[in-house]
Structure 1
Amino acid sequence: MYAYDEIDRTLINERVAEFRDQVQRRLAGEITEDEFKMLRLMNGVYLQLHAYMFRVAIPYGTLSADQLRKLAHVARKYDRGYGHFTTRQNIQFNWIALADLPDALADLAEVGIHAMQTSGNCTRNITADQWAGVAPGEIEDPRIWAEIMRQYTTLHPEFSFLPRKFKFAITASDHDRAAIKIHDIGLRLRQNDAGVTGFEVLVGGGLGRTPFIGKVIKPFVPGRDILSYVEAILRVYNQYGRRDNIYKARIKILVHELGLEKFRDEVEEEFLQIGDGPLTLDDAMIEEIRSRFTYPAYAKLSDNPEELTKASADPGFAAWLANSVAPHKQQGYAIVTLSLKPVGAPPGDATAEQMDAIADLADRYSFGEIRVGHEQNLALPHVAKRDLPALWQALDRIGVATPNVNLITDIIACPGLDYCSLANARSIPIAQELTRRFSNETANLIGRLHINISGCINACGHHHVGHIGILGVEKNDEEFYQITIGGRADEGAVVGTLIGPAVPYDDVANVVEDIVEAYLALRQRPDELFIDAVKRLGVEPFKERVYATR
């Protein structure tokens, strides 16, 4: 965990007071909704279909147990008893009254949580691998650098009013769990031949109306220079990014239209002008941030405890162990993913009661720490293997032990037309129906398969990079859905391919079943993953199966 200092606490409290005044002026009619819009957006407040939506930042996906309890408190006191975890490691509350928002922010500030820059044309919440600091094989904890980036970007005077929203993601592992290739800037920690830690820098990724996979703009930037290089990218974007057309305002369009070489030349020129100045990170600065992260006092434990051996005879525990428990860099410990995708429920939602219970379990079994992943699940990152049987029973009692992580029912979905004023179609009911169609037994037979659903072209559900992507569109005031296959968001990120014409709402689940049945019939062996089968076969066999009788 990172220990916030007095500067952080002062900033958060001052922002609460400032926003309280802005809300009071809006409620009194002293400012219009149009005048209020920019103020509320910079504090994470959207105007949705039914109410204001409140989006809270969870920097690099790390929460303490006390912070999770406070989120539960906000859900219970100001909302309708639940929150929705998003693909940006944030949490959203959909029903908070405008008059209550300053009090909710003040309550969150007590534990160091805020909503600054979770919306608006600014640098958004910095995201990272949810297993950061505990994943075997990573170069170092990327949250150290994410925190440096958070401090640098928060209320940056030059980059708080960019042409469009701007998103960072950071990872330090070969396997990318942070989806860095679909971000405006993606950073992958590297070490060069001299042992210097630095970054491979990607630029121009993003989904939405025009999806692009990020491109490597510089293979290696030393850690000491990363803020200078990022500032150079942002300056070029701020200067040349389109402000006259919202659909062409993202950096991905600028990189595409200028070309990577021209964009790189502009960045390099800006980088040289910045030079070896105030943004250069010396070792003392980096170590000061590093020292503010605390890590568990791990015990020396067996990797094969007796408790684990005995419990593995239980088929239910064995299935959960194989699906939801991952290796840890420390002997005798494991990383546990908590599925927020139970059968028939909205993906990514957690009730106040669940959040309180998870916080208690984190205190008991995970040194008081919880992680949020971009797949809309939670994780306990420091669980002793001997405690896994007891933890499983406790998680099962509160409904977050469904053994479907990375399987077909572990669906990523935006709130869609049930909440969002931008959406064209519903996402949640589609996800609910698909979880009912595919039982745990069937899901295990299918193997790893990611479904992503977005209710509109803005792609908050990351449908472009789902193994099966579902996009809601409107035709003559009716809900239709485009289906893509073959996308992925990891280190081999690629945008999926459209299989054919959009299908009506009532037919979506049937189409997914047809695609899955085609895969099971065509895969070369039981362990050939869906994504590999699509790469080998192309789209046509799946298209033929889906549209043969339609």
Structure 2
Amino acid sequence: MFIYDQYDQQLVDERVAQFRDQTRRYLAGELSDDEFLALRLMNGLYIQRHAPMLRIAVPYGLLSSDQVRMLGHIARTYDKDYGHFTTRQNIQFNWIPLEQIPDVLADLASVQMHAIQTSGNCIRNTTTDPLAGVSADELEDPRPYCEIIRQWSTLHPEFAYLPRKFKIAVSGASKDRAVTLVHDIGLRLVKNEAGEIGFKVSVGGGLGRTPMVAQTIRPFLEKRHLLSYLEAILRVYNLRGRRDNKYKARIKILVSSMGADNFAALVEQEWAKIRDKLVLEQAEIDRIKAFFAAPQYDPDAAQDAAYQQRQSDTPAFARWLEHNTTAHKVDGYRVVHVSLKSPKIAPGDITAEQMDTLAELADQYSFGLLRSTYDQNLVLADVKQGDLFALWQALDQADLATPSIGTINDMICCPGLDFCSLANASSIDIAGEIQQRFEQLDYLYDLGEIDLKMSGCMNGCGHHSIGHIGILGVDKKGEEWYQFTLGGFSEDEAQLGQRLGKAIAKDKVADTVEQIARVYLDNRIEGERFVDTFYRIGMEPFKGRVYEANN
């Protein structure tokens, strides 16, 4: 992983000292709420329903064991003993007193972490495929380019006060596990007819109250032009994006209103002015790539087949192995998905004790590294097959081995009304009810891959718009109701879900999910996923079953 140099460390340390003084002045009454607002947002600090919420950056989802230990320390020392991983691969703490935030930032700086640009109208955390570097379907590891973008965008003066927040995702695999098409800029590593690797550039994706899928404005961009082309896009947005209405300020509105071709033409004009002044040299790409060199894999790892006997002897291990591990590009290794979807806690939550445990397990079994994922889980990416049984036992003991990855119970869920001041409805308790409905593993596995996503308001932090089943909490005269969408998906050619019909009462949400699942079971053909059945039979069978049952 990338290691700070003296300049990186100095920048972060100085930011901590700066914010410590700003916080002191605010608490002393020397800064007004409005004056402090911009300053705290620059450092990832929101005021939520009950207490300040601090969002910590996890660039492209990569964490060292020491960083995870520090997160556990923060949860235990300053918060209520837990944190929450988000769809942007970051982690949030919800209960840290304002006066202690500078101390938290100082602790983070000691392990090369910060909260800079995790909020505000700036370029946010660049995200990527959680299987980057270890997946066989990968054209090239996207993480070096994420790091290059991070260095270019952090504290970039021209893009610190954009019309609205701005998100970039990069993918290097044939399957888009970074959901690039619902980002402001999505970058896919592709190969042109000459065999050269470059970027396919899509712009104007995003979710929230006006969900849109990004449109391709350049099918192939040479690597050396990556930063200049990104800068040209941002310049056009900065100049043309709306600032009079925050709900219409995202780049997706600009691209939609003027059309992708017209937007691309403006980008080309701007790019022509700077393309030869901001060139990403191959030497710099190689320098950054060196930080992401493959670890020293054991050449004899594939010879250890004892775990196969363990599968026969221990059905619970066999279930976990099938559902919570995936193939690794190196023979003898597996990718382990650490589930943060135990029914005992809210989706994405993790305790301080669990963080400490995972740090130890990462050191023991995965070269001291963990990854956070888009779907609010964690990954140990480099586990020898001979270590899988011992690792499973440790994860199971820590309640981190729920064998439900990729199922309806592996849902994405925002904190909702429990924490967020913007939310209209709760989501955590609804998630618990749904998990109880599908707790029988045979039933859960029979349903197969169902991507359920839930948001507590139109801001769509739970990405409900692209769920196979999407659930959106709404307020109706002070009561919590829920709108359903079906047929969304995020991989490859992303698709927004279609609205099922009128909103469903809170006490009927879990029933409704089960009715939708049963329509699928009644109509699927062999080997067909839920989303494929939906597009084959259409909305009406689902709508008929749901509203007949709820009348």
Q: CA deviation at 1:304?
A: 6.0
Q: CA deviation at 1:310?
A: 1.2
2:5 and 2:192 map into 1 onto residues whose CA distance is 33
Q: CA deviation at 1:271?
A: 0.8
Q: CA deviation at 1:137?
A: 2.4
Q: CA deviation at 1:429?
A: 0.5
Does residue 546 in structure 1 map to residue 546 in structure 2? Answer: yes
1:289 partner letter: I
3-state SS of 1:481 partner: strand
2:129 and 2:497 map into 1 onto residues whose CA distance is 23
Q: CA deviation at 1:456?
A: 0.2
Task: Tell me if structure 1 keeps the 8 A contact 2:229–2:275.
Answer: no
What's 1:215 paired with?
Answer: 215
Deviation per CA, 1:129-174, whole angstroms, max 9, x where unpaired? 0111111121121000000000000000000100000000011001
2:33 and 2:172 map into 1 onto residues whose CA distance is 43
2:285 partner letter: I
Q: CA deviation at 1:309?
A: 1.4
Deviation per CA, 1:416-473, whole angstroms, max 9, x where unpaired? 0000000000011111111111022211010000110000000000000011000000
What's 1:129 paired with?
Answer: 129
3-state SS of 1:208 partner: coil
1:474 partner letter: D
1:208 and 1:482 map into 2 onto residues whose CA distance is 14
Does residue 237 in structure 1 map to residue 237 in structure 2? Answer: yes
Task: Tell me if structure 2 keeps the 8 A contact 1:43–1:115.
Answer: yes
Q: CA deviation at 1:344?
A: 4.1
Deviation per CA, 1:23-61, whole angstroms, max 9, x where unpaired? 001110101111101100110000001000000000000
2:482 and 2:162 map into 1 onto residues whose CA distance is 32
Task: Tell me if structure 2 keeps the 8 A contact 1:320–1:402.
Answer: yes
RMSD after superposition: 0.9
What's 2:225 paired with?
Answer: 225
Q: CA deviation at 1:502?
A: 0.2
Does residue 160 in structure 1 map to residue 163 in structure 2? Answer: no
Structural mapping, 1:260-409, within 5 Å: 260-277=260-277, 279-303=278-302, 305-313=304-312, 314-409=314-409
3-state SS of 1:310 partner: helix
Q: CA deviation at 1:524?
A: 1.6
What's 2:472 paired with?
Answer: 471
Task: Tell me if structure 1 keeps the 8 A contact 2:164–2:250.
Answer: yes
Structural mapping, 1:109-148, within 5 Å: 109-148=109-148
Q: CA deviation at 1:193?
A: 2.7
Deviation per CA, 1:67-111, whole angstroms, max 9, x where unpaired? 000000000000000000000000000000000000000001000
2:26 partner letter: R
1:492 and 1:390 map into 2 onto residues whose CA distance is 39
3-state SS of 2:95 partner: strand
1:309 partner letter: Q
1:160 partner letter: A
Task: Tell me if structure 2 keeps the 8 A contact 1:344–1:436.
Answer: no
2:512 partner letter: V
Deviation per CA, 1:360-387, whole angstroms, max 9, x where unpaired? 0000000000000010000001100110
Change (3 A) 1:366 1:302: closer
3-state SS of 1:173 partner: coil
Q: CA deviation at 1:239?
A: 0.4
2:279 partner letter: T
Moved more, 298-307 or 1-10: 298-307
Q: CA deviation at 1:294?
A: 4.3
2:411 partner letter: I
The runs of 5 or more residues in structure 2 that have no matched partner are none
1:192 partner letter: N
Q: How many residues align?
A: 548
What's 1:54 paired with?
Answer: 54
Q: CA deviation at 1:214?
A: 0.7
Change (3 A) 1:295 1:280: same
Task: Tell me if structure 2 keeps the 8 A contact 1:108–1:114.
Answer: yes
Task: Tell me if structure 2 keeps the 8 A contact 1:2–1:294.
Answer: no
Task: Tell me if structure 2 keeps the 8 A contact 1:186–1:201.
Answer: yes
3-state SS of 1:257 partner: helix
What's 2:417 paired with?
Answer: 417
1:483 partner letter: F
1:427 and 1:71 map into 2 onto residues whose CA distance is 25
1:367 and 1:282 map into 2 onto residues whose CA distance is 30
1:390 and 1:285 map into 2 onto residues whose CA distance is 41
3-state SS of 1:189 partner: strand
What's 1:258 paired with?
Answer: 258
Percent identity reads 54
Structural mapping, 1:64-79, within 5 Å: 64-79=64-79
3-state SS of 1:238 partner: helix
Task: Tell me if structure 1 keeps the 8 A contact 2:139–2:174.
Answer: no
What's 1:192 paired with?
Answer: 192
3-state SS of 1:420 partner: coil
2:264 and 2:52 map into 1 onto residues whose CA distance is 40
1:471 partner letter: L
Does residue 32 in structure 1 map to residue 25 in structure 2? Answer: no
1:475 and 1:137 map into 2 onto residues whose CA distance is 46
3-state SS of 2:474 partner: strand
1:303 and 1:537 map into 2 onto residues whose CA distance is 44
1:344 and 1:546 map into 2 onto residues whose CA distance is 28
3-state SS of 1:22 partner: helix
TM-score normalised per structure 2: 0.98
